[in-house]
Structure 1
Amino acid sequence: MTTAASAGVRFHSGSEVTPSASVHTTPLGYDRDDIPVGAPLPVPASAALVDRLSGCGEIEVAFEGKLGDTLLALSTVRALLEWLRLCSIPVTVRAVGPYAALMARSGLVTRPPTTAPRGRRAVVGDRAGVEARASESVAGLVCDPAAPPCWSSAGLAHPDLPSRNYLALERRLGIRLPGTAPFVPLLPAAPSGLVEELHAMGWLNGLTIAAITATSWPERKNYTAQRYIELAELIAERWQSQARLLLIGGVADSSGIRITTDDPRRYVQVLRLDGVSADHLVNLFPRCQLVVGNDTGLTHLAAMARGRDGGGPPVVGLYARHSHSKWRTGLPHHHAVATDLSDRMHQGDLCPVRDAIAPNTDIHMNAFPPVALAEICVELLNRVAP
């Protein structure tokens, strides 16, 4: 469901369906529902790619760039491994780079081999990861977020990046793969000393809201801690309940983890978590009741993180300039609040950076009033409340 949140800002549910007639798309060339799994597609495969991959005994997953781009590209890895299984090609899969531990949670990575892999090596990752290993591999699959279009089939659009990536590789391999939307893998939580420590201190009791202040583009995507505090106060006041707000700052660096508290407020207690690694945060997010963040990797991580029971909180992303549909996981609990400019990027399948669209100096994160955002968050919390 899409609803107006305030002037120029709209809420987009993670479960909404986008008709192909309402956005600019590229026809997929076939209706997946009409083709059995494993059957050839009515579009030609890339013969060179298929030949190279068929002779591989090892797949190396190598992402060196941004966390968000990496997470949304894991559907490419999923598509490749599903194709190899359909073709009965045995391979060893290993992950390297800063996100290796996260990727291991996705179930896409096998244990290290006890013997040397048979066959040649293929590398899938971002451009930096693939190019760094080009001399050691026989095939390279570069996951470029600017490359795959918004596909359409059977009257529906597939705008999120995991869908774009999965379907793009399916077309190149020429076989109907078994995956269905959402194509992004989930990241299950694991026991965590940090999480248990926070729980023992009472920070994960009752209404716990995580707000992501970390961003690689602060001049454009920083909603600010003060706005998040105001948002949490409005939500807690509506619930007539004390809330605990976890402000998630930059991920791990040389200065280590920094945990500080603000002075208590009437409805909200604030805990600032800076320098916490994504490997810790993936265990923390499922213990919250709500996550709100800008369009950044940690917000995508929160959507993909799931508790031991498979559950997790609603996640709300704030989209001021980029397409709210493309830069999401495609998971039904991953929602968006978007400006008119973000809606136009969605409708035209555009990117303000790639397409050199002059920035609108009036479009900043202050486009999302905490009062309007609180109404949306309270409604989402009411839907999942026991």
Structure 2
Amino acid sequence: MTTVAPAGIRFHPGSQVVPAEAVHTTPLGYDRDGIPIGAPLPLAASTELVQRLSGCGEVVVAFEGKLGDTLLALSGVRAVLDWLRLRSVRVTVRTVGPYAGLIARTGLIPRPQTTVPSDWQAVIGDRAGGEAQGSTAAVSLVLDPAAPPCWSTDGRAHPDLPARHYLAMERRLGIRLPAMAPFVPTFATGPNNLVEELRSVGWLGDLNIAAITATSWPERKDYTAQRYITLAEHIAEAQQTQARLLLIGGNPGDGLRITAEAPRRHVQVLRLDGMPADHLVDLFPHCHLIVGNDTGLTHLAAMARGREYSGPPTIGLYARHSHSKWRTGLSHHHAVATDLSDRMHQGDLCPVRDAIAPDTDVHMDAFPPTALAQVGLELLDGVRP
């Protein structure tokens, strides 16, 4: 960890391995490295769950809640599908709900599929997704972000939510599953007409920076467009080039809205409000740097991979919540966090769930644009990991 300024604000690289003794963890109960893939764990599986899943002919993936919670829970879906493959249980898998098309792009859903004769159905997703499917399922697996703890095994902690979900499901199902960290699935990108249109009119140039302005909690998590513009100006001036800053906003309720602002000396600004997540998956890999608050679109940016598999460096800003839990676990997904966020990370705590009032009123103004610009420059130059 490196202090970036002012005191109490730290950079946490995505590649950092957290030692088990450095944070509050729950022991996984076995050393994963010493157990062959597919072998039984030295823990009792959930017999009822195993029996019901083994008899299912269909798995329905159903998420209806927040985008960020959904993205970080997809590793739980991955764990169930990995288990079914290892056990040679043939099932039909389908996705429903607002994220069905997005989930299909992870490659989790097998193609082609064959119909399996069985009246039993398993539903896996969030609570709202399960309720939307009714009460006819043989088993309903709810991937609640508050449920799985920070696990530790083989001397290291696994604080990110994708690791928590995957390992929690592995323990319940009772056999060593194949995935290793990072456990989060990623999104394949492809040709996109809107992205090509942006390129054709000069919006994808030598230095493309995307900044996530969308947030479900603007009072606490809105870094503001002006701070992002200031950050981009510092980076562009230092690199002696013109930056294209794409401000990625939420859905204003009337569909996609694209607005260009008046050019500045070093930065051209384009606002993209209401751009569908499917399109953003194709856009993000064309950026050189992505900065955003702790929100679903920032996680999406980190999970969107280009031709080189890894995406551009992505920086999440964490004022209150744990910077390690609410990340993807990918090596290019970094954090800049306050002392409060670091304490939540160390103690596996949540300021909302655990009703922890901060010593000071910590908001996004804790992160000076000049300090973030320096972090961004070092990532662009390959100085930071």
Query: Do they fold alike, i.e. is TM over 0.5?
Result: yes
- The CA RMSD over aligned residues, in Å, is 1.5
Bigger shift: residues 182-191 or 293-302: 182-191
After TM superposition, the structure 1 = structure 2 runs for residues 1-386 of structure 1, keeping only pairs within 5 Å, are 2-6=1-5, 7-111=7-111, 115=115, 117-251=117-251, 254-360=253-359, 362-383=361-382
CA distance in 2, matches of 1:15, 1:384: 14
Structure 1 position 311, deviation (Å): 3.6
The answer to whether the Cα contact below 8 Å between 1:25 and 1:149 also exists between their aligned partners in 2 is yes
How many residues align structurally? 383
TM-score by length of 1: 0.97
For residues 287-310 of structure 1, what are the alpha-carbon distances to aligned partners after superposition, in whole Å with 9 as ceiling and x for unaligned?
100000000000000000011342
For residues 111-161 of structure 1, what are the alpha-carbon distances to aligned partners after superposition, in whole Å with 9 as ceiling and x for unaligned?
585757534110000011112224221011000000000000121100000
Query: Structure 1 residues 304 and 175 mapped into 2: Cα distance closer, same or farther (>3 Å)?
Result: same
CA distance in 1, matches of 2:117, 2:105: 22
Matched residue type, 1:66: K
SS in 2 for 1:73: helix
Structure 1: 4+ residue segments shifted above 3 A: 110-119
CA distance in 2, matches of 1:165, 1:377: 30
The answer to whether the Cα contact below 8 Å between 2:318 and 2:337 also exists between their aligned partners in 1 is yes
Matched residue type, 2:319: A
Structure 1 position 362, deviation (Å): 2.1
Query: Structure 1 residues 80 and 116 mapped into 2: Cα distance closer, same or farther (>3 Å)?
Result: closer
CA distance in 2, matches of 1:114, 1:87: 17
Q: What percentage of residue pairs aligned between the two structures are identical?
A: 72
Query: Structure 1 residues 114 and 157 mapped into 2: Cα distance closer, same or farther (>3 Å)?
Result: closer
Structure 1 position 259, deviation (Å): 0.6
CA distance in 2, matches of 1:150, 1:331: 17
The answer to whether the Cα contact below 8 Å between 2:37 and 2:176 also exists between their aligned partners in 1 is yes
Query: Structure 1 residues 258 and 361 mapped into 2: Cα distance closer, same or farther (>3 Å)?
Result: farther
For residues 262-319 of structure 1, what are the alpha-carbon distances to aligned partners after superposition, in whole Å with 9 as ceiling and x for unaligned?
1111100000000111111011000100000000000000000011342421000000
Matched residue type, 2:127: R
The answer to whether the Cα contact below 8 Å between 2:91 and 2:116 also exists between their aligned partners in 1 is no
Structure 1 position 13, deviation (Å): 0.1
SS in 2 for 1:152: strand
Query: Structure 1 residues 110 and 201 mapped into 2: Cα distance closer, same or farther (>3 Å)?
Result: same
CA distance in 2, matches of 1:106, 1:22: 33
The answer to whether the Cα contact below 8 Å between 1:18 and 1:157 also exists between their aligned partners in 2 is yes
The answer to whether the Cα contact below 8 Å between 1:59 and 1:92 also exists between their aligned partners in 2 is yes
SS in 2 for 1:383: coil
CA distance in 2, matches of 1:113, 1:165: 26
SS in 2 for 1:56: coil
The answer to whether the Cα contact below 8 Å between 1:92 and 1:117 also exists between their aligned partners in 2 is no
The answer to whether the Cα contact below 8 Å between 2:90 and 2:116 also exists between their aligned partners in 1 is no
For residues 166-214 of structure 1, what are the alpha-carbon distances to aligned partners after superposition, in whole Å with 9 as ceiling and x for unaligned?
0000000010001100000010112111100000011111100000000
CA distance in 1, matches of 2:71, 2:77: 10
